[in-house]
């Protein structure tokens, strides 16, 4: 007889709901995406129209609108994350104390209010109707992340639900505690600061190129003074942008960036992350995974979440359901590699050889091979999960630390070049204004 706990099959087995795909999702996205952009344009037009008598304020009011949208998206994301964490904490406490789940969720709903109360009631109704916990959370709690739902489904199938719930709740508490303790060092602050500074400095420099820089040519022409070389380069750039229709080349790029950003901002405010349809996810995830530093961080983050779940299952003697764990990573390319690992295992290859054939890092195969020989696969999986988790955290901290200095450096070079071109022309202009033979009385 095997000592492994059985894999559980429920009375109403259904795949865990994921984000919507197919033609319907494409049509909904195409129909709603222009509406989000038009809403942003209308909001910016209203704010700019209110201060039409003060053009500088009108220009900066647009930056205020963009900052408000980004801040609103950040606030709504935090509210959804806290609501999902509260629901998960209620479930974990009930399961840990071995209490009746449906009854206790209904009692917990009475003590809450607003959306949290409705979410708990809907989860209790779905469980009473025969759904598994992962299915109930996926259908009734749109705020719940997809990787959390997948981990719960895997824990239910392997009979390790209490341990999985405890790990997820501890991770949520650490994330919320670190976010509240370091609000000004979070990625959201750096992202908001970077976007605001890029838009502000770019807008100011565009205004200089259009309205200020061409005046320098007229002034130097009136005094018959040759332009310094840096100023001539700046004037050539201004002529290309204004006269030679350079704005027509930059315009589509700016419109595309504005379109994408506005759709993301509005959908981030009104639509939960798990329910958003992203038509270019597969292509974007492949490109991200090939970036020098970001790709390694994303790969490490996905592998860490998979190995931690597998290690917890293996430590309790449960089978390794790698096919189910392949849905945990958020990156499509990483999910594909885990799925190929599962397919190679199904084809009869050993754990380390399957990892090598799936394109996983050499460390995975090099660690699992000796672990299989000495019978310590759970410890090896736990080591890999912790190693890749620490590696992802180090990469994230490095990116956050480098983002602000890199932004300041790039913007400083842009502003410094314009300042040298404009201010460096003043001595040449003053020299041209002086009489050639000296002053005469």
Give 10-48 pLDDT, tens digit per residue.
444 455 445 545 555 566 666 666 777 677 777 666 665
327 vs 5, more confident: 327
pLDDT value for 60 = 62
Is the confidence at residue 298, as pLDDT, over 50? yes
| Contact (CB, 8 A) for 68 and 195 | no
DSSP per residue, 5-20: PPPP--SS--PPP-S-
37 vs 224, more confident: 224
For residue 45, what is the enclosing H or E element? helix 23-50
**How far apart are alpha carbons 26 and 32 in whole angstroms?**
10
Using CB atoms within 10 Å of the CB of residue 341, give its burial: 0 to 12 exposed, 13 to 18 middle, 19+ buried. Answer: buried
Closest CA to 230 of 434, 411, 423: 423
Q: Where in the chain is the domain with CATH 1.20.81.30?
A: 23-181
The CB density around residue 9, as the number of other CB atoms within 10 Å, is: 7
CATH number of 23-181: 1.20.81.30
For residue 158, what is the enclosing H or E element? helix 146-158
**How far apart are alpha carbons 154 and 50 in whole angstroms?**
55
| Contact (CB, 8 A) for 146 and 80 | no
Handedness of CA 324, 329, 331, 336 (dihedral sign): negative
Is the confidence at residue 172, as pLDDT, over 70? yes
Q: Note the pLDDT tens digit of each residue in 67-119.
A: 677 777 778 878 888 888 899 999 999 988 888 889 999 999 988 888 889 99
Is the confidence at residue 200, as pLDDT, over 60? yes
At 180, the pLDDT band (50, 70, 90 cuts) reads low
For residue 41, what is the enclosing H or E element? helix 23-50
Q: Token pair of 242, please?
A: 């204004």
Model confidence, pTM? 0.68
Region 188-198: what's the mean pLDDT?
64
The CB density around residue 107, as the number of other CB atoms within 10 Å, is: 15
The phi, psi pair for 155, rounded to 5°, reads -65, -35
**How far apart are alpha carbons 288 and 151 in whole angstroms?**
24
Region 304-327: what's the mean pLDDT?
78
Q: What angle do CA 305, 151, 141 make, to 5 degrees?
A: 120
Q: Token pair of 186, please?
A: 């979070």
At 121, the pLDDT band (50, 70, 90 cuts) reads very high
Q: Note the pLDDT tens digit of each residue in 359-412.
A: 899 999 899 888 888 888 888 988 998 999 899 888 888 877 777 788 788 888
Q: Note the pLDDT tens digit of each residue in 231-276.
A: 888 788 777 777 766 666 766 776 676 667 666 767 667 666 655 5
**How far apart are alpha carbons 216 and 34 in whole angstroms?**
41
pLDDT value for 441 = 40
pLDDT value for 25 = 57
As a whole number, the mean pLDDT across the chain is 76
- 3 state DSSP class of 320: coil
At 131, the pLDDT band (50, 70, 90 cuts) reads confident
pLDDT value for 388 = 92
Q: Note the pLDDT tens digit of each residue in 274-283.
A: 555 566 667 7
The CB density around residue 354, as the number of other CB atoms within 10 Å, is: 23
Find the range with the poorest average confidence among 58-72, 121-135, 390-404.
58-72
Handedness of CA 423, 425, 427, 429 (dihedral sign): negative
290 vs 261, more confident: 290
**How far apart are alpha carbons 260 and 306 in whole angstroms?**
31
For residue 375, what are the contacts with CB-CB under 8 A and spacing of at least 6? none
pLDDT value for 424 = 76
| Contact (CB, 8 A) for 305 and 392 | no
Angle between helix 362-374 and helix 377-423 axes, rounded to 10 deg: 160
HEC string for 61-111: HHHHHHHHHHHHHHHHHHHHHHHHHHHHHHHHHHHHCCCCHHHHHHHHHHH
């Amino acid at each position: 007889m095997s000592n492994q706990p059985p894999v559980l099959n429920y009375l109403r087995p259904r795949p865990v709901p994921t984000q919507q795909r197919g033609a319907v999702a494409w049509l909904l996205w195409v129909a709603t995406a222009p509406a989000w952009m038009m809403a942003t344009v209308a909001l910016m037009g209203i704010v700019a129209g209110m201060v039409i008598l003060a053009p500088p304020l009108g220009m900066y009011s647009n930056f205020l609108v963009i900052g408000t949208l980004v801040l609103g998206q950040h606030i709504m994301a935090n509210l959804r994350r806290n609501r999902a964490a509260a629901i998960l904490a209620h479930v974990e406490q009930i399961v840990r104390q071995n209490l009746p789940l449906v009854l206790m969720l209904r009692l917990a709903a009475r003590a809450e209010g607003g959306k949290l109360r409705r979410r708990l009631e809907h989860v209790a109704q779905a469980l009473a109707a025969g759904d598994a916990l992962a299915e109930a959370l996926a259908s009734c709690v749109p705020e719940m992340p997809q990787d959390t739902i997948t981990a719960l489904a895997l824990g239910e199938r392997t009979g390790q639900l209490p341990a999985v719930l405890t790990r997820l709740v501890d991770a949520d508490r650490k994330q919320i505690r670190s976010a509240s303790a370091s609000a000004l060092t979070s990625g959201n602050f750096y992202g908001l600061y970077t976007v605001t500074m890029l838009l502000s400095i770019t807008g100011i420099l565009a205004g200089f190129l259009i309205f200020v820089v061409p005046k320098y040519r007229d002034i130097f022409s009136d005094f018959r003074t040759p332009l310094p070389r840096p100023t001539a380069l700046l004037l050539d750039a201004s002529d290309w942008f204004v006269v030679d229709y350079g704005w027509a080349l930059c315009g589509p790029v700016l419109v595309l960036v504005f379109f994408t950003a506005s759709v993301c901002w509005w959908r981030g405010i009104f639509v939960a992350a798990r329910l958003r349809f992203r038509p270019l996810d597969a292509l974007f995830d492949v490109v991200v995974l090939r970036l020098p530093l970001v790709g390694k961080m994303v790969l490490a983050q996905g592998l860490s979440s998979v190995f931690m779940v597998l290690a917890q299952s293996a430590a309790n003697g449960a089978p390794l359901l790698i096919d189910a764990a392949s849905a945990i990573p958020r990156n499509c390319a990483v999910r594909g590699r885990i799925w190929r690992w599962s397919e190679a295992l199904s084809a009869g290859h050993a754990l380390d050889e399957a990892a090598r054939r799936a394109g996983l890092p050499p460390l995975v195969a090099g660690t699992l091979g000796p672990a299989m020989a000495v019978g310590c696969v759970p410890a090896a999986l736990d080591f890999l999960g912790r190693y890749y988790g620490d590696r992802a955290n180090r990469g994230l901290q490095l990116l956050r630390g480098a983002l602000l200095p890199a932004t300041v450096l790039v913007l400083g070079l842009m502003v410094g070049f314009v300042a040298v071109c404009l201010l460096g022309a003043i001595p040449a202009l003053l020299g041209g204004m002086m009489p050639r033979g000296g002053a005469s009385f």
